[in-house]
Amino acid sequence: MGSLDGQVIVITGGGRGLGRAFALHLAGLGARLVVNNRNRVVDENGLGPADHVVREIRDAGGEAVAEHGDVADPATARHLVELALDTWGGIDACVTSAAVSGPAMFHRSSPEAFEAVIRTNVLGTAQVAAACSAVMRERRHGRIVLVASTAGLHGEPTVSAYAASKGAVIALGRTVAAEGAGRGVFTNVLLPYALTQMTESGMASEHRHLMDPAAVAPVVAALCDPRSTLNGEVIVAAGGGLRSADSVEWGTVLTSETASGTIPAATSGTAPETPPEAASETPPETIPEGSGGLTPARLAELLERSRKGPAHRYANAQDGFLDLAEEMTR
């Protein structure tokens, strides 16, 4: 008996790269899979990537069905849910791994190309996750794993649309996690590093042996496990290792002396007082007329002071707002 025995899991992008590794690993643990991958390329028998993965699973004694829709099409999400329900009567987990990169310098990216990436990576992810979530919420049980990227955390040159889309997926995952917790539907976001079609051209040779997509699959399986109660996690994973990731706001500092409130030194992260002799070496900055009282140099100084303050982490944006508002009105 595997840890996922009998669990019905919908996985998008399951025909290649990371998605394929996830699908094979989940099936090896006993999961029943709806494997989605659009048929951009088929073999001489008319079989696409999803068909080949399903064949591998069945040949190993597992259960799986293939689905060939484009996740950018809302009809695909509906069909995936219908296929899972008609075949096995339920949905226990959903893994959204379908994505495109669309590399281009930002100023050279056409609106159509940018939109195509957003449509697949953001809308495609959201549509499938929402359709599966509706079934899970009704049954008060479900696990959702949204596959994003560290490009969505840190940015990445030449793939602006991809980075923007993956940042959106991270925010989506945290939001869906908060909404679903009360209904037993837990959502987490995975940011994997692996050697795939998308990354092979830029992967350094000394790292390639570590970046097997299969090394990330156990993290997906743990998040899909019905025993897991993890929710709202953002996890970076690669080569048998992982990191917890988070969004951080640093210490609060006032932008002007006339701002409301008094920020305590411990909160603002104010640097130690400058000795008089050192202060005399640097003449006070002249604030140009029309600058609004905040010059670029002053802003840079305030940001540096903020970074020396304590880290603030919040479950949602409303908590962050309330905390800042409270500090500003003390």
CA distance 159 to 109: 9
Q: In three state form, how does the secondary structure of 65-88 look? A: EEECCCCCCHHHHHHHHHHHHHHH
Beta strands, E only, the chain: 8-12, 32-36, 63-67, 93-96, 142-147, 185-192, 234-238, 241-245
pLDDT at position 205, please?
A: 59
Whether the CB-CB separation of 115 and 109 falls below 8 Å is answered with no
Q: How many residues does the chain have?
A: 330
Section 27-42 average pLDDT: 92
Quickly list DSSP for 103-143.
Answer: -B-GGG--HHHHHHHHIIIIIHHHHHHHHHHHHHHHHT-EE
Residue 274 pLDDT grade (very low, low, confident, very high; cuts 50, 70, 90): very low
Q: Is the backbone of residue 37 left (phi > 0), alpha (psi -120 to 50) or beta?
A: beta
Annotation marks residue 314 as catalytic: no
pLDDT at position 207, please?
A: 53
Give start-end residues of each CATH 3.40.50.720 domain in the chain. Answer: 8-245
Section 1-6 average pLDDT: 90
CA distance 72 to 290: 48
Whether the CB-CB separation of 71 and 12 falls below 8 Å is answered with yes
* Residue 109 confidence (pLDDT) above 50: yes
Catalytic residue among 38, 80, 98, 162: 162
Residue 324 vs residue 210, higher pLDDT: 324
Q: How far is CA 14 from CA 35, 75, 89, 124, 185, in A?
A: 5, 18, 21, 14, 22
User: Which of 46-50, 64-68, 186-190, 199-203 has the weakest average pLDDT?
Assistant: 199-203
* Residue 92 confidence (pLDDT) above 90: yes
* Residue 7 confidence (pLDDT) above 70: yes
Section 31-51 average pLDDT: 90
- How confident is the model over 145-202, as pLDDT tens digits? 999 999 999 999 999 999 999 999 999 999 999 999 999 999 999 999 875 555 545 5
| Local structure of 94: helix, strand or coil | strand
CATH architecture designation of domain 8-245: 3-Layer(aba) Sandwich (3.40)
Strand pairing class (241-245; 234-238):
antiparallel
